[in-house]
Amino acid sequence: MGLGPFTERWRRASAVRPGTAGVGGRLWRALRDPERPQVALEVRASGVGVVRTRRDGRATVLAAASAVELPPEVLLPSLTQPNLADPARFRAACRSALERAGVLDGAPVALVLPDPVARVAMVPANELAGRPSEVDELVRFRLRKSLPFDVHEARVAHVRSPRAQDPVVVVAGLGSVLDGYEEVCRSLSLEPGLVELSGLALCRCAFAPGVPGDRLLVNWDEGYATLILVRDGWPLLARTLTGPAVSSPSEVAREAAQTLVYARERLASPGLEQVVVRAAGLAGADAAAVLEAPLGLVPTIVDPWRALGTADAGPAAQALAGAAACLGAPA
């Protein structure tokens, strides 16, 4: 098992209210063997992008990709507030990107969202012991004090590692926030059967499963930076920084250094074997230069396109990296 199962490959579901779990309440579940769509729609604060793939024998290869910019007032990624300040303009941008990528009819789609729209947490596996029907409520109980909204209004996904010592990866998003994105998809005849955070999709793509050692992914986009520490192919720590913490490259470097200190002192990290960065908010070389000193390694730029039969680490490719990672990384 690689990183695929913990990625937010969620089916759409209603927010679970007391008494509904297991009695017709529809839940987001991590899908261990999802049917991968051939189209991914990636949403970022500054634009939307579409990646379309096709089958070439047994391989999945790139068929088309497109991106459309958004004015800054259209989309405001948030964990607790409606994200679509102007749904009509957001819908028009999505439709334009789809048409440019040759998606002219309805299709299943992977919806790739910016990291700040959901909370990622690591929960000790021994705290979630119980029958499968009980685990969802245990997860919600565990998260109830850490979410800035009512846990019963959340959509929750969780997945266990095959190793007992690894934490359970849990993701929670406010149902009303996620509904806004999915409703736009459906208005364009798209069925968002898979929903992913870009950081987790990129993490799954960046690190080969089972490779020993501690490795760090930095998903650095406009308005946020996510740091995910992976040990032996499974995440131990995820932080999404927003606001003043990403107000300048020097602040991101400082937070990255603090993350490394925490990993060493609290997670017994022996040091990093690899750092991979997705640079969508600034040039890749600039991002790598900022992170090299605090992390003690020269970061490499994430390249999910190679799995789709091409290779490009330029700015346009980085803007669509989450969508490419979603479609090209092993499930």
29-46 per-position pLDDT tens digit: 333 345 679 999 999 999
Question: Which ranges in the chain are annotated with CATH 3.30.420.380?
Answer: 4-198
User: What is the domain class of 4-198 according to CATH?
Assistant: alpha beta
Question: Which ranges in the chain are annotated with CATH 3.30.420.40?
Answer: 202-311
Integer CA distances (angstroms), 210 to 165, 184, 305, 316, in order: 14, 38, 21, 30
CATH of domain 202-311: 3.30.420.40
| Share above pLDDT 70 across residues of the chain, in percent, rounded to a whole number | 88
Would the CA dihedral through 169, 330, 303, 115 be positive or negative? negative
What are the pLDDT digits (tens) for 108-142? 999 999 999 999 999 999 998 877 778 889 999 99
